[in-house]
Amino acid sequence: MQKIILAGIFFIMMSVANFASAAEIEKAFFDNNPELVYPVVKTENIMAGAKINSEIRKDIQNFLDDIKSRVGDDLQTISISYSVPCNHKGEILSIILSEYVMVKNAAHPWNLVHTLNFNSDSGVRLTVESLSEIANPANTYTPAELTRKLKLYSKINNCPLNWDFKKLDKVPEDFYFDDNLHVHFLFQQQSVAPYAVGVIDLDADAFSGIVDTNAD
């Protein structure tokens, strides 16, 4: 039933795309803090815009609360910035939140990324579970397939993965669409590769035609 509903949302979204405008994005400061920069979204559907903005603010507040509970008074610096890699008319809005945290006596800062994806016409938040209804139907986004493409990425870009990395156990929650509607998955620092590699941005639609991995 959920798949049917999501598919219906997607087809409605596509049918109105030619009549809707891309969302307007304005920069704002969370709780008037100039270090916490986030997007305020305006759409033709006022209720959809309000729903999106509520989700964004809730997500940022959850992040701030989580950091406070984890490090308390040891927090030295925290900042947020954002980018919008996809803002298609009446279709998909992708937002990347880049989060920087410096903790007292830490060897290095935490550079985190988090993504939010929406149907900008309805305000519905898009999740990993809905990718099969929204993204290129010729591609699959399973742990096994993403492991294959991650190892290809590592070889092609001379980007070493962790020595003990074998496979992904689940699909990463942080994904976004680019302007060509390719699906990208983001891997946090040290999650699958050494800290120096940084955040890995995997275009999961880029290696579909490559079948030779030799990556094990």
Tens-binned pLDDT, residue by residue, of the chain (216 aa): 544 444 554 444 444 444 457 899 999 999 999 999 999 999 999 999 999 999 999 999 999 999 999 999 999 999 999 999 999 876 899 999 999 999 998 888 999 999 999 999 999 999 988 886 776 666 788 999 999 999 999 999 999 999 999 999 999 999 999 999 899 999 999 999 999 999 999 999 887 666 554 545
Burial class (CB in 10 A: 0-12, 13-18, 19+), 211: exposed
Give the Cα separation of 43 and 39 in Å (integer). 13
Q: What is the pTM of this model?
A: 0.84
Going by DSSP bridges, is the β-strand pair 24-29/75-87 parallel, antiparallel, or unpaired?
A: unpaired
Residue 65 confidence (pLDDT):
96
CB 188 within 8 A of CB 167: no
DSSP code at position 182: -
Mapped onto helix, strand or coil, the DSSP state of residue 102 is: strand
Give domain limits for the chain: 1-129, 135-216
Residue 138 confidence (pLDDT):
61
135-216: in CATH 3.90.640: yes
Give the Cα separation of 160 and 157 in Å (integer). 9
Alpha-carbon dihedral angle through residues 9, 11, 12, 18, given to the nearest 10 degrees: 130
CB 206 within 8 A of CB 113: no
Give the phi and the psi of residue 17 in degrees, each rounded to 5.
-60, -35
1-129: in CATH 3.30.565: yes
- Rounded to whole angstroms, what are the CA distances from 174 to 36, 126, 155? 20, 11, 22
